[in-house]
A and B are shown apart, each in its own frame.
Chain A
């Protein structure tokens, strides 16, 4: 069977949790062929492969969201004639309302001979008049230019995506909603094949958080953009045959956002723990580490401040920040500046991209201070090496770390953006070797029980097979 795996801003060009997960899934199903569709924001992005591509990947298609720049400006079809139903649906699309009939819209835009390209549509008289209408209804006091361009900019990549030529496959598997989700939705409608949606975070929520903080979009447009992302997420929720999430809390959100509970399934991350069962190497002092990409969402500033507090109390301690630094070089610059400012240059080490196996043996404590996480793979990996974990209370971290029916605590939970809280947790673990040891043991037990790759692969095998059968008839 051919499975089309669709992701945005991830595999195979950007390293991270989702990308590793995709790589893991693909490698675990050698008897299926995979087509990878990678959506990237712009052609300026590098297309250096961050993973060794498994042999069963038969095709990688990269779609840049600004690819519409390459569309030839043919003569604009200014006024395609629409039927009343079409007009009604297009009006809903322009208003990005939640009840857009996406199947209808996707089929409509597929008729390129009628509508032309996304640019034709966005330059059409119909689009202009309807946008003015929408403006007069609800945005009268806003600057018209900004309004018009916002709507246009919003719809441009969207229509561009749904007009993409379908990748033939037996199943579409998308790693998120959003642009990847809408592309998978479009393929699935056009080819009429199953669509499996695996959400790691909740896309709409993440965009909402980002937008509320973003400076480039202001005032009323924050809401417009947020509605837009929720709306395109709804398209995928609606079309997908099965929707997985990593943990219960995310499934609840999905259901709140309108997902039919019958379609949901929880598929936690899983790792090959035998691979990471590394002998502890004797070493002097305590080594605290964090395995992460140096990017703002990980809130490394808080971590460095926490390290500074720890260092002021305990002497014999070293901090390792393990992971690629080049993704956001200006943020990395800020981090190293802070390290200098706090005089921590001798005890904080940025390793850059390395093989973590070389470090797991000497790490005593692992830390995360992220402001957003799903179900961090690094926690699972740390446990495989029996390392206790300290993490902020985000995503499913609390569930992961706290005591349950089977195991005691496997780590400590801290408050967000609180250097002192994180520092106290580190200090607590430094002070008690037995606590470290027991938490590490508990972690390993938990990984073996819940988060091992055999469970993960078995659940996806079941879902795949079920979907193949469903569409066979």
Chain B
């Protein structure tokens, strides 16, 4: 008899939502660590330099060296950060623990070579002593490697170790500085800043050694498929672009101001705008409370509802049950976001109102204070945009998250540029307005998504799963086969 009958059977498989959503969060928060640390440590070291009367030029040179190392290494790693986070969380989810070490070695190699090339290109024709160049390059490479390994360590959530590493690294740097202030190593040029840089570099090296030791004692096995993760560059290109645009967005206003009237150039090497840069750093420090608060809330409350909803949606439950868990999740999320946002706004407004006495007390330049007032409001909106991007990533709305990151980048660039043509009182307005608009867009994206979340969950999942074979997959295969031939 004719008829296809039931060769049809069940053609499709359900997609499973994993706990991977949290991974983005940890990775992002842990990445904030080095920044906080660098801002604090630079300021601390600058105070010491001032006390022992190091001249202004060397002080600026030292702080510029460190800021540049942090900034450009972060820009280098940002595009891969979320992709690698996703890749290793997928591997861990599938219990493929032996993929972790090779992946680390693979990505490390790539970042290592790229960072060396960047250093060579940057320092090649700069009028600095060779030793100083070598030390700065070394610092840049080490910090790049720290960014990379932090992605891996955040997956295992060993906060204690990370904190310990920072502590010991910090202690080493400070101890060395105290020693070297008394017994400086002699250099023909730039004696103080080179001594400081040596201390700093050794402290950071110790941090990396801690991290490496911990990493290799956790993931000591696995050899093959070093470059398997490259597949994800095609599949999750949006994650890379989110990292790239968001991080570039964070810095584009600084870079624009480096080329404005605020510009300061040191040794024809480092261009920066200390007034603006410092104001912004301080503003970002004010957002730490809401980041921490949000991390706690997400882990303790929201994530439970999140798991309920997707768990119900993907298993045998009637729509009524799913609808109920959807309402719970939505309410929890909206309540907590509002709560965190209000708390952050309260902190920011208080600091803005108290800025005059505080800055007077700390004897910081009034220009920095005035910029700080504007950028602090901007930073609170920006950190919320960032939080909303993370929330959208939980829901696998990578496209929306990317649009927000991109919009923020473009707005911050164009508005900051626009305001450089205005009187000096408007400094920081570009950033603040860009952050505010991006925040509103992010809110509306999230609202739309939550409104149609059932539609998204059920109807927008791919009807069939098929591994794309794009250029990245081919590249990964080729790289892997080269490795196994060896």
Q: Which residues of A contact B (CB under 8 A)?
A: 7-10, 16-19, 39-42, 45, 65-66, 68-69, 73, 76, 119, 122-125, 127-129, 132, 135-136, 140-146, 148-149, 152-153, 156-157, 175-176, 178-180, 200-201, 203, 206-207, 210-211, 214, 216, 297, 372-374
Q: A18-B1, A176-B3 are in contact. Are A119 and B315 (CB under 8 A)?
A: no
Of the candidates B322, B458, B466, which one forms a contact with A69 in the assembled complex, judged by CB atoms under 8 Å apart?
Answer: B466
A40 and B293 alpha carbons, distance in the complex (Å): 58
Contacts A144-B317, A144-B322; A119 near B2 (Cβ below 8 A): no
Q: Which residue of B lies closest to A178 (CB)?
A: B3
Contact check, A119 vs B463: say whether CB atoms are below 8 A apart: yes
Distance between B469 CB and nearest chain A CB, rounded to angstroms: 13
Residue in A closest to B461 when the chains form the complex, CB atoms: A123
Residue of A nearest to B320 (CB): A140
A9-B454 in contact given A140-B318, A145-B14, A153-B11 (Cβ < 8 Å): no
Q: Are A123 and B460 in contact (CB under 8 A)?
A: yes
Instruction: Find out whether the CB atom of B1 lies under 8 angstroms from the CB atom of A201.
Output: yes
- Is B213 in contact with chain A by the CB < 8 A criterion? no
**Is A207 a contact partner of B10 (Cβ separation < 8 A)?**
no
**Distance between A159 CB and nearest chain B CB, rounded to angstroms:** 12
Q: Which chain A residues lie closer than 8 Å to B51 at the CB level?
A: none
The reply to whether B452 and A214 form a contact with Cβ atoms under 8 Å apart is: no
Verify B3–A8 contact, CB threshold 8 A: yes
Structural contact, B2 and A200, CB atoms closer than 8 A: yes
Of A144, A200, A297, A374, which contacts B318 at CB under 8 A?
A: A144
Given contacts A76-B460, A143-B315, 11 further A-B contacts (CB under 8 A): A40-B4, A65-B4, A69-B464, A132-B454, A141-B318, A143-B317, A148-B458, A153-B10, A175-B2, A203-B2, A211-B6
| Chain A residues in 8 Å Cβ range of B317 | 143-145
Most buried by A among B5, B9, B313, B462: B5
Identify 23 residue pairs between A and B in the complex whose beta-carbon atoms are under 8 Å apart, listed by A's number.
Answer: A10-B2, A17-B1, A41-B4, A41-B5, A41-B7, A66-B11, A73-B462, A125-B452, A125-B459, A128-B455, A140-B318, A142-B318, A143-B316, A145-B315, A148-B458, A149-B12, A157-B8, A176-B3, A178-B3, A179-B4, A201-B1, A203-B2, A216-B6
Closest to B9 in A: A216
Distance in angstroms between the alpha carbons of A42 and B320 in the assembled complex: 36
Q: Mark B9-49, 1 if CB is under 8 A from A, else 0.
A: 11110100000000000000000000000000000000000
Complex: how many Å from CA A5 to CA B10? 29
Are the C-beta atoms of B3 and A206 separated by less than 8 Å? yes
**Shortest distance in angstroms between B408's beta carbon and chain A's nearest beta carbon?**
23
- Check if B5 sits within 8 Å of A9, measured CB to CB: yes
Q: Are A16 and B463 in contact (CB under 8 A)?
A: no
Task: Point out which of A68, A128, A201 has the most chain B C-beta atoms below 10 A from its C-beta.
Answer: A128
Q: Does B342 contact A (CB under 8 A)?
A: no
Q: Which residue on B lies nearest to A143, using beta carbons?
A: B316
Contacting pair A216 B10 (CB below 8 A): yes
CA distance A314 to B411 in the complex (A): 95
Q: Which residue of B lies closest to A199 (CB)?
A: B2
Residues of B close to A7: CB separation below 8 A: 2
Q: How far is the CA of A151 from the CA of B194 in the complex (A)?
A: 71
Residue A122 contacts which of B313, B319, B320, B463 (CB distance < 8 angstroms)? B463
Q: Specify which chain A residues have a CB less than 8 angstroms from the CB of B459 in the assembled complex.
A: 122-125, 127-128, 148
**Closest chain A residue, CB of each to CB of B314:** A145
Contact residues of B between 299 and 314, Cβ < 8 Å to A: 313-314
| Cβ 8 A contact of A8, one of B4, B10, B313 | B4
**Residues in A whose Cβ lies below 8 Å from that of B1:** 16-18, 200-201, 206, 297, 372-374
Residues of chain A within 8 A (CB-CB) of B319 are 132, 135-136, 140, 144
Q: Which residues of B contact A152 (CB under 8 A)?
A: 463
Task: Return B460 CB to nearest CB of chain A, in Å.
Answer: 6
Q: Nearest Cβ distance between residue B281 and chain A, in whole angstroms?
A: 41
Q: Chain B residues near A207: list those with CB within 8 A.
A: 3, 5
Among residues of B, the one whose C-beta sits closest to the C-beta of A129 is B455
Q: In the bound complex, do residue B463 and residue A145 qualify as a contact, i.e. CB atoms below 8 Å apart? A: no
Distance (Å) between the CB of B10 and the closest chain A CB? Answer: 6
Instruction: Return chain A residues, CB-CB under 8 Å to B462.
Output: 73
Q: How many A-B residue pairs have CB under 8 A?
A: 115
> How many Å lie between the Cα of A9 and that of B2 in the bound state?
6
Which chain B residues have a beta carbon within 8 Å of chain A's beta carbons?
1-12, 14, 313-320, 322, 452, 454-455, 458-460, 462-464, 466
CA distance A19 to B315 in the complex (A): 43
Residues of chain B with a CB closer than 8 A to A69's CB: 464, 466
Give B204 Cβ to nearest chain A Cβ, in Å.
46
Bound together, the chains give a CA A416 to CA B6 distance in angstroms of 23
CA distance A206 to B7 in the complex (A): 14
Q: Which residues of A contact B464 (CB under 8 A)?
A: 68-69
Q: Considering only CB atoms, which chain A residue lies closest to B11 in the complex?
A: A153
Name the contact of A176 in the complex, choosing from B2, B12, B313, B455 (C-beta under 8 A).
Answer: B2
- 5 tightest A-B contacts by CB? A41-B7, A128-B459, A18-B2, A144-B319, A9-B4
Rounded to whole Å, the gap between the CB of A67 and the closest CB of chain B is 11
Residues of A within 8 A of B452 (CB): 125
Residues from chain B with a CB closer than 8 A to the CB of A42 are 7
Docked Cα-Cα span, A178 to B7, in Å, equals 14
Docked pose: A373 CA to B1 CA in angstroms: 7
Given A124-B459, A145-B313, A145-B458, A153 and B322 touching (CB < 8 A)? Answer: no
Expressed in whole angstroms, the Cα–Cα distance for A136 and B454 within the complex equals 14
Q: Of all chain B residues, which has the CB nearest A372?
A: B1
* Beta-carbon contact of A214 and B6 below 8 Å: yes
Contact of B316 among A145, A148, A180, A210 (CB under 8 A): A145
CB distance from B255 to the nearest CB of A (A): 33
A171 smallest CB distance to B (angstroms): 19
Give the residues in chain A near B466, CB-CB below 8 Å. Answer: 69
Chain B residues within 8 Å of A66, by CB: 11
B458 pairs with A128, CB closer than 8 A? yes
Chain B residues near A124 (CB, 8 Å)? 459
Q: Which residues of B contact A122 (CB under 8 A)?
A: 459, 463
- Residues of B contacting A17 in the complex (Cβ-Cβ under 8 angstroms): 1
Could you tell me the distance between the alpha carbons of A65 and B11 in the complex, rounded to whole angstroms? 11
Q: How far is the CA of A156 from the CA of B463 in the complex (A)?
A: 9
Residue of A nearest to B1 (CB): A201
Are the CB atoms of B316 and A9 closer together than 8 Å?
Answer: no
Return chain A residues, CB-CB under 8 Å to B316. Answer: 143, 145-146
Measured CB to CB, the closest approach of chain B to A113, in angstroms, equals 21
> Which A residues touch B6, using CB under 8 A?
210-211, 214, 216
User: B8 and A41: CB pair below 8 A?
Assistant: yes
Residues of A contacting B5 in the complex (Cβ-Cβ under 8 angstroms): 9, 41, 207, 210
Whole-angstrom CA separation of A401 from B3 in the bound complex = 26
CB distance from B387 to the nearest CB of A (A): 27
A8 to B7, CA, bound (A): 12
Complex Cα distance, B455 from A178, in Å, reads 30
Alpha-carbon distance between A200 and B3 when the two chains are bound, in angstroms:
11
CA distance A143 to B319 in the complex (A): 7
How many angstroms from the CA of A69 to the CA of B455 in the assembled complex? 22
Residues of A within 8 A of B11 (CB): 66, 153
Minimum CB distance partner of A119 in chain B? B463
CA distance A372 to B1 in the complex (A): 8
A297 vs B2: C-alpha distance when bound (angstroms): 12
B316 nearest in chain A by CB position: A143
Docked complex Cα distance between A373 and B2 (Å): 11
Measured between alpha carbons, how far is A39 from B1 in the docked complex, in Å? 14
Q: Which residues of A contact B2 (CB under 8 A)?
A: 7-10, 16, 18-19, 175-176, 180, 200-201, 203
CB-nearest residue of chain B to A17? B1
- Point out which of A16, A143, A148, A175 has the most chain B C-beta atoms below 10 A from its C-beta: A143
Residue of A with least CB distance to B14: A145
Complex interface: chain B residues within 8 A of A178 (CB): 3-4
Give the residues in chain A near B322, CB-CB below 8 Å: 144
A-side contacts of B458, CB under 8 Å = 128, 144-145, 148
Q: What is the distance, in angstroms, from B347's C-beta to the closest C-beta of chain A?
A: 40
In the complex, which residue of chain A has the Cβ closest to the Cβ of B459?
A128
**Shortest distance from the beta carbon of B294 to any chain A beta carbon, whole Å:** 31
Residue of chain A at shortest CB distance from B462 = A73
